[in-house]
Structure 1
Amino acid sequence: MTTWDGAAAAERVAITSDQDVVRVRQLVRTLAVAVKLSLVDQTKIVTAASELARNTLVYGGGGNAEVSRVDNGRKPGIRIVFADEGPGIPDLDLALTDGYTTGGGMGLGLSGARRLVDEFEIDTEVGKGTTISVTKWCR
C-alpha cells in the first residue's frame, strides 16, 4: 500500500475486472481520508472514481487509474487519471449530457462525475481511447 505523505505519491491500478473497480474505490477512499477531505467530499470523489473506473472497464475495454495526492500550495487534494485504449467517444458533447447512455444505465456517469469533482478534463479520440483526469481539493 502506498503512503500518501508526499505530494508526488501515486499508485496505479490496472482496471481489467469488477474487483479492480472496487480496488480503485478503496484506494481513493484511503487517500481521501489521508488528505482530510470532508466526509461529503470523500463520498463525492469516491463516487466519481467508481463511475469513471466502471466506464473505463465497460466502455474502454479496461485500462488503468493513477491515483495521486496533489498540492496547489494552499491545500491538498486528490487527482485521479483514468486511461484506456478503447474506441473513444465519438460525440463528447452528447456523452456529457445528463440522461445520455449507450449502456442502458441512467446516463449520469460522465456528467455526474463532472459535477462531483472540482476539476474535470477529458481527452478522447475515436479509435485511440480516452483519458479523463479529475481533481478534488480540500475546502
Structure 2
Amino acid sequence: MTPATDPATATSLPIGSDADLARLRRQVRRISAELGFGLVQQTKLVTAASELARNTLVHGGGGQARITPLADGPRRGLRLAFADTGPGIGDVEQALTDGYTSGGGLGMGLGGARRLMDEFSVDTVPGKGTVVTVAAWITGVPAPRPGTG
C-alpha cells in the first residue's frame, strides 16, 4: 500500500470542535466520491471518520485528522489517521469490545470503525496520546497478483 503519487493530495484537518467534525465528514465524503467509492462505501468511510474524530475530540482533547488517497497498482483507497496527545488508551482490547465506553456513549466507536474498514490500527501510549489509522479500498478492483505490482 502506498500513498497516491502526489503527497500533496493528503489533507490535514484540525479536530477541536463539533464544527471541525462536520467539516471532516464533508471532506471524507467529497474525497471518497472523487476516488470512485460507491455510496455504501462512502457512508462507511464517513461513519468511521465521524466515530474516530469524535473519540479524538472527546477522549483525546482534540487533535488532527489526515486524509490520504492511496494507490496500489490498479487499486485505489483512502487512509484516515486520527492523532491526539491525550491520555492514551490503557487497554486497547477492552476499548475495542462492543458496549465498552469510558465516556457514557454507546461503546461502538472503535470496534464499529474497525468493522467498517478494511484496515485498522491503534498506536497508543498512556499519558502520551493515540493515533488510530484506518483504510478502505474500492471494492470490485482486484488486488494485484504477486509479482505483478
Runs of 4+ in 1 over 2 A off after TM superposition: 5-8
For 2:110, give the aligned amino acid: L
Does residue 74 of structure 1 match 2:74? yes
Deviation string for 1:54-76 (max 9, x for gaps)? 00000000000000111111311
Question: How far is the alpha carbon of 1:38 from its aligned partner?
Answer: 1.1
Residue 7 of structure 1 and its aligned partner are, at CA, apart by: 4.8
Identity %: 53
1:22 paired residue number = 22
Q: Normalising by structure 2, what TM-score?
A: 0.88
1:118 aligns with 2:114: no
Is the CA contact 1:7–1:70 (under 8 Å) kept in the aligned structure 2?
Answer: no
Cα distance in 1 for residues equivalent to 2:53 and 2:82: 7
Q: Distance in 2 between matches of 1:20 and 1:41?
A: 22
Q: Given the alignment of the two structures, is residue 60 of structure 1 paired with residue 60 of structure 2, yes or no?
A: yes
Check conservation: 1:87, 1:128, Cα contact below 8 A. yes
SS at structure 2 position matched to 1:133: strand
Which residue number corresponds to residue 102 of structure 2? 102
Give the whole-Å Cα distance in 2 for the aligned partners of 1:135 and 1:74: 16
Using the size of structure 1 for normalisation, the TM-score is 0.94
Q: Is the 8 A contact 2:5 2:71 kept in 1?
A: no
Structure 2: 5+ residue stretches without partners? 140-149
Q: How many residues end up aligned between the 2 structures? A: 135
CA distance in 2, matches of 1:82, 1:132: 5
Which ranges of structure 1 fall in alignment gaps of 5 or more residues? none
| Secondary structure in 1 matching 2:89 | coil
Which secondary structure state, in structure 2, belongs to the residue aligned with residue 33 of structure 1? helix
Q: Once the 2 structures are TM-superposed, how far is the Cα of residue 45 of structure 1 from its aligned partner?
A: 0.5
RMSD, aligned α-carbons: 1.1
Q: Does 1:39 align with 2:42?
A: no
Question: The residue matched to 1:42 in structure 2 has which SS?
Answer: helix
